[in-house]
Amino acid sequence: MKRFLYALSFFILLAVAWHMAVRAGFWSPVLLPAPESVASYLWSSILDGTLEQATLVTIRRLLVGYCIGLLVGLPLGLLTARFKICEDTIGVVALGLQTLPSVCWVPLTLLWFGQTENAMLFVVVMGSLWSVVIATDNGVRHVPPIYARAARTMGSKRFHIWYAVILPASLPFLVSGMKQGWAFAWRSLMAAEIYVTILTGFGLGQLLHFGRELNSMDQVIGIMFVIVVIGLLVDKILFSPWEAFLHRRWGTAGS
């Protein structure tokens, strides 16, 4: 409770400082709107439903793309860790493409898929997939060999070793990789939404883009605020339980 109060007062202080800065007139209100005008934009966009709509569209794209990234990335990572030939092929591709900022996929994606939902999905998958592959690979390689040996003497066989030993043993790496994959997916989706206008649904990135076009900074900052809040919520809801589990079981911060 004490921690919560401290945090709360910190954010209230931040808002007050912002408010004062705007009131002092250092910057034009066009460039830096007051916190209350941002709040009133958010309130009105909630009332007319645009914000919920956009959030829903964005989250759906993100979740679908991220899940595909996980479902494909996890087995690929296991393959690259297990087989030399996969390490030299898929592994190199993964390492290379992970360094490619996913916004670079946007031009190609537009030509391939046009202005469709699939274009969005593709960018998100490309953004998250490779870091999941690399984290899985890395996690499997860091599993102490003695775990597999111990399991084998207890009668554990190939497939059982993989799902009952190797996979859970690499959890600390998997979770941090999934978290990184999530962050990359989120970034690439925002980039894609800002660049690509899709008629099948406006996401948060598109609202951000329109805010710029209309020169309404309260909208831009408001949407940025929403994006940050979603990021925090996902961290707390999706990843915190896992990290708490890792911390409890391994007795570490779980990387």
Partner 1 sequence: MNPLSRSRCLISGDSPGPSALNSQETPCERAAPAQAKVVVENVSKIFVTKRGSAEALANISLQVNDGQFVCLVGRSGCGKSTLLNIIAGLEKPDCGRVLADGKPVTEPGADRMMMFQESALFPWLNVIENVLFGLKLKPNLTRSERFEIAEFYLRLVGLEKFMHANIHELSGGMKQRVALARALAPNPRVLLMDEPFAALDALTREQLYTDIQQIWEQRKKTIIFVTHNVREAACLGDRVLVFSRHPGRIIEEFVIGLRRPRDINSVDLANYTSVIIRALKGTLGFESRGKPLGQIEVAALSS
Q: How far apart are CA 63 and CA 50, in angstroms?
A: 20
The nearer residue to partner 1, 132 or 169, going by C-beta atoms, is: 169
In the complex, the smallest distance separating the C-beta of residue 150 from partner 1, rounded to whole angstroms, is: 4
- For residues 127-149, b (16+ Cβ closer than 10 Å) or e, as one string? bbbbbbbbbbbbbbeebeeeeee
Query: With contact defined as beta carbons under 8 Å apart, do 189 and 62 qualify?
Result: yes
In the complex, the smallest distance separating the C-beta of residue 246 from partner 1, rounded to whole angstroms, is: 9
Distances (CA, A) of 151 to 53, 165, 249: 50, 7, 19
Give the phi and the psi of residue 17 in degrees, each rounded to 5: -60, -40
Can you say whether residue 202 is alpha, beta or left, with left for phi > 0 and alpha for psi between -120 and 50 degrees?
A: beta
The nearer residue to partner 1, 160 or 212, going by C-beta atoms, is: 160
Nearest to 89 by CA among 102, 98, 76: 76
In the complex, the smallest distance separating the C-beta of residue 169 from partner 1, rounded to whole angstroms, is: 7
In the complex, the smallest distance separating the C-beta of residue 156 from partner 1, rounded to whole angstroms, is: 6
The residue behind tokens 């209230």 is 12
In the complex, the smallest distance separating the C-beta of residue 145 from partner 1, rounded to whole angstroms, is: 10
Residues that bind partner 1 (CB under 8 A): 144, 146-147, 149-156, 160, 164-165, 168-169, 171, 248-252
The nearer residue to partner 1, 127 or 172, going by C-beta atoms, is: 172
The nearer residue to partner 1, 164 or 228, going by C-beta atoms, is: 164
The nearer residue to partner 1, 179 or 209, going by C-beta atoms, is: 179
